[in-house]
Amino acid sequence: MSPLSPDTLTSRPADAAEKTFDAPGTTDVPATEPVLALHDVRITDRVTDREIVHGVTFELTPGKAVGIVGESGSGKTLTCRAALGILPPHFEVAGGRIDLAGTDIATLTPRQWTDLRGATISAVFQDPASYLNPAIKVGAQIAEVIRVKQGLKRRAARRRAVELLGAVRLRDPELVYGQYPYELSGGMLQRVLIAAAIAVEPRALVADEATTALDVTVQAEILDLLAELRERTGLALVVVSHDLAVVAHLCDEVLVMRQGEVVEQGETHAVLHDPQHDYTRLLIAEHDSYGLDKFLAPKEAS
Ligand SMILES: Nc1ncnc2c1ncn2[C@@H]1O[C@H](COP(=O)(O)OP(=O)(O)OP(=O)(O)O)[C@@H](O)[C@H]1O
Ligand SMILES: [Mg+2]
Is pLDDT at 21 greater than 80 in this prediction? no
Q: What's the confidence (pLDDT) of residue 295?
A: 62
The ligand with the least distance to the CA atom of 79 is 1
pLDDT value of residue 219: 83
Query: Where does residue 245 rank: exposed (0-12), middle (13-18), buried (19+ CB within 10 A)?
Result: buried
Write out pLDDT tens, residues 82-106: 999 999 999 999 999 999 999 999 9
* Residue with the larger pLDDT of the pair 19 and 42: 42
- Report whether pLDDT(12) > 90: no
Q: Which of 65-74, 240-249, 253-262 has the lowest mean pLDDT?
A: 240-249
| Residue 80 Cα: closest atom of ligand 1 | 18
User: Closest Cα to residue 58, out of 22, 16, 99?
Assistant: 99
pLDDT given for residue 296 in this prediction: 62
The protein residue with its alpha carbon nearest to ligand 1, atom 11, reads 73
Q: Is 75 in the pocket of ligand 1 (CB under 6 A)?
A: yes
**19 pLDDT more than 80:** no
For all residues of the chain together, what is the average pLDDT? 86
**pLDDT above 70 covers what percent of the chain?**
85
In the prediction, which pLDDT does 242 show?
85
Please state the pTM of the whole predicted model.
0.85
Average pLDDT over residues 239-245: 90
How many whole angstroms from 208 Cα to the centroid of ligand 2?
7
Q: What is the pLDDT of residues 177-192, one digit of tens each?
A: 999 999 999 889 999 9
Closest-CA residue, ligand 1 atom 18, reads: 75
Residue nearest to atom 7 of ligand 1 (CA): 88
Distance CA 276, CA 272 (A): 9
Atom of ligand 1 nearest to the CA of 242: 25
Give me the pLDDT at residue 41, please: 98
Q: What residues have CB less than 8 Å from 222, skipping those under 6 apart?
A: 187, 190, 191, 194, 210, 211, 214
Helix (H) or strand (E) holding 53: strand 50-60
The strand pair at 50-60 and 236-240 is best described as: unpaired
Give the domain ranges of the chain.
Answer: 1-15+32-120+204-302, 127-201
Considering all CA atoms of the chain, what is the largest pairwise distance in Å, rounded to the nearest integer? Answer: 57
The CB of 77 under 6 Å from ligand 1? The reply is: yes
**What's the pLDDT at 3?**
40
pLDDT band at 6 (very low <50, low <70, confident <90, very high): very low
Which of 139, 184, 185, 145 lies closest to 165 in space, CA to CA?
A: 139
Task: Give the CATH superfamily of 1-15+32-120+204-302.
Answer: P-loop containing nucleotide triphosphate hydrolases (3.40.50.300)
Q: Of 111, 145, 110, whose CA–CA distance to 131 is shortest?
A: 145
